[in-house]
Amino acid sequence: KIKLTLLYAKVLFTEGSVKKASQLLAAINADKNTPTAYWNMLGKAYINLGEFQQADKHFKTWLEFQPNNKAAMLSHLVMLDGKGDFKEALTLTTAALEKKNDDVQVQLLHTHFLMVTQSFDLAQQSYKTLPEKVKELPFARGLKGQLQINAKQYQLALPNMNEAYQAQTNARNSRLLFLCLTRLQKKTQALSFLTQHVNKHEKDIASLMLLASVQLQGNVEEAIKTYEKALIVKADNFIALNNLAYLSFENKRLEKAEGYARRALELKPQQADVLDTLGQILIAKKKYEQALSFLTKAVSDTNVKEEIYLNYIEALLLNNKIVIAKRKIGQREFKLQASIDKLELLKNQYDL
């Protein structure tokens, strides 16, 4: 019966009915004797559907049922890598190599996890133990490239990272290749590469955010467009929302700016920078009472930036709370020249 179910699920998968296939497979009461084909297919279905929590739980269950199944371990390691649980992954690869120290696949992944946990000396030692033929594989070339990047040997790293990227065009490889090009002062080429990567991989949120941060340095309008694309991929992207709120405010697009700021605050209600941005937007819209409300929350942290504290002082003055403003000025020492200059302007403007 299970063979027929797997065959039907495979047909559904091939026809693009992935959801139906996943539902069909999920109805199976799996145990330690359930064939590998079931685990692989259902896991793949969850990933295709973007149900990563389900996929993670699924592969973990598989490994619990079949702890000696290499495919189960590798699938679980891939999920751990995607989640950023590198230390847990490293624990798994370490245990596996203690049982069988000549498993090349596990050796490669072990070296990778040492690398991403910043254990470069151990990663170097692990890389050296790889067979010479294995070192020619694109994944291994990428490992070598990362070691070279860590040693600041960017020229040597470049062809290795390019090989790794051509084989696997993921966010990590694109970031490392971009880094190589940038450190070699090939900034135009680096920007062109990253832009092309993002155009081909529109859902690569990490690369979108990297591109936007680069564009901020020279082309704000393009950065805004890229952050907006990032929000299409992930609507609750706090950094994108926060930056769009500020950039829209700077460009006098107050309605858009307020919308972005309020969405960002829904995610982090106590974040001082967003509270400050929203306060400034509301001041620009002459909604002084609302602005003061948000800026008061922003300065509840005693370590708040001088700039934000001065925006709070300004909001008090705009609301004619002169006595409170004077008292608050006396409670804070300003060290930055920009802050001292702005305070003098406020004092002169309001005859303090």
pLDDT tens per residue, range 224-257: 999 999 999 999 999 999 999 999 999 999 999 9
Give whole-number Cα distances, 177 to 139, 199, 284, 302, in Å: 14, 16, 42, 41
Amino acid identity for residue 205 in this structure:
I
- Best CA proximity match to 208, nearest among 179, 183, 174, 177: 174
- The residues, ordered by sequence, that sit 6+ positions from 198 with a Cβ below 8 Å of its Cβ are 204, 207, 208, 211, 226, 229
pLDDT < 70: residue spans in the chain? none
Residue 51 has what pLDDT?
87
CB 143 within 8 A of CB 112: yes
CA distances to 74, 220, 296 from 144, in Å:
21, 36, 52
Kindly report the CA angle at 106 between 101 and 108, in degrees rounded to 5? 110
Q: Which two tokens stand for residue 198?
A: 């993002």
